[in-house]
Structure 1
Amino acid sequence: MPTTSGPNPLFLREEELRQAMEMLFVAQRDVAAQADPVLDRHGLGRAHHRVLAFVAREPGITVTALLDRLKVTKQSLSRVLSELSEGGYVEQGRGLRDRRQRTLKLTEAGAALERELSERQRALIARAYREAGAEAVEGFRRVLLGLMSEGDRARFGEREGAGRAGTARGR
């Protein structure tokens, strides 16, 4: 009986699914840990990093939209935003169409901190992408999209060729 190497065609078995869940937890832990020394130096936590990352990706995001993206309580986000504002990392403004909306953007110090926080994470992900190759990266992207809610999936654009270098991000 010849042996074949490659992916297990029985990938939906209980053990394969449990292993995938464990691998997601471990990978998320290790990616997040890349920023911990910088966060510690600034007296901040991972919640602060998530806010900085989302605001960096979408300058002018409203507090309401950020709440929706992060799926946290208003009280929790309010505490983190207050600390980031007091630290000079985030500034709040008013919406252009609706003056009641609060918009967020990073200050120069906030942008510099966000770059420093994500630098090692980007390097880790880039190394993993290089090792896996383009086809695996696109497959990984499809798996991640499949794990997301409909609303989040739509934000990342489920379209032909999405995620490849040089394509615009869907909103």
Structure 2
Amino acid sequence: MAEAPLPQGGSSLLFLTDEQLRKGIEAMFFAYRGFTADPDRILEGREMGRAHHRAIHFIHRSPGTTVSNLMALLGVTKQSLNRVLRALIAEGLVEVRVGRRDRRERNLHLTPEGAALERELSDAQRERMRAAYRTAGPVAVAGFRQVLEAMMDEESRRQYEALAGRGG
């Protein structure tokens, strides 16, 4: 006998107990650990971490982005981002170009080596996501994305939608 479909969205989900919510929170913690494990291993040999990975990811997604824009996307301070960018530039992964319209602007681009590293990091994560999505199925995938989007604050959602509009 087939199971009854679960109710969709809204107030029908208000029955969730604190224990069910705790399990969801813990599932996110462990899923995030799995999601970041492969890139962490790849970056460990370069003495880099997740902040470097996030910067590489968003520079790849928005070639020519400015330091100010990257700060906003990552939600970090200029001091924190400068530490990360210095390391990426020193390793030959990122290059800074003077802005074409505004010469005071510094536009960030991945070098060929940076693009190769970004592919390696993203391939590992895409493979993990692909396997999980196949296991869960299309309805669960759509629901998962809906949950993630519902958890975003207004500014994060705006940034996410702007990236999605670029082919994301």
Name the TM-score, length of structure 1 as normaliser: 0.83
Alignment correspondent of 1:63:
67
Out of 141, 157, 164, the position equivalent to 1:169 is 164
Aligned 1:1-171 pairs, distance under 5 A? 12-157=16-161, 169-170=164-165
Residues 16 and 102 of structure 1, relative CA distance in 2, 3 Å threshold: same
Instruction: Please give the root-mean-square deviation of Cα atoms over the aligned residues, in Å.
Output: 2.2
Secondary structure of the structure 2 residue equivalent to 1:104: strand
Residues 92 and 11 of structure 1, relative CA distance in 2, 3 Å threshold: farther
Residues 11 and 107 of structure 1, relative CA distance in 2, 3 Å threshold: farther
2: CA distance between counterparts of 1:108 and 1:89? 7
2: CA distance between counterparts of 1:169 and 1:70? 16
The percentage of counterpart residues that share the same residue type is 48
Q: Report if aligned partners of 2:96, 2:108 keep a CA contact under 8 Å in 1.
A: yes
**Structure 1: gaps (5+ residues):** 159-167
Q: Report if aligned partners of 2:73, 2:159 keep a CA contact under 8 Å in 1.
A: no
Q: Report if aligned partners of 1:155, 1:170 keep a CA contact under 8 Å in 2.
A: no
Alignment correspondent of 1:162:
none
AA aligned opposite 2:27: M
Instruction: State the 1:170 CA deviation.
Output: 2.0
Alignment correspondent of 2:10:
none
**Structure 2: gaps (5+ residues):** 8-12
Instruction: State the 1:93 CA deviation.
Output: 1.5
Q: Report if aligned partners of 1:154, 1:170 keep a CA contact under 8 Å in 2.
A: no
AA aligned opposite 2:149: L
1: CA distance between counterparts of 2:160 and 2:143? 15
Instruction: State the 1:65 CA deviation.
Output: 0.9
Name the TM-score, length of structure 2 as normaliser: 0.85
Q: Report if aligned partners of 1:35, 1:117 keep a CA contact under 8 Å in 2.
A: yes
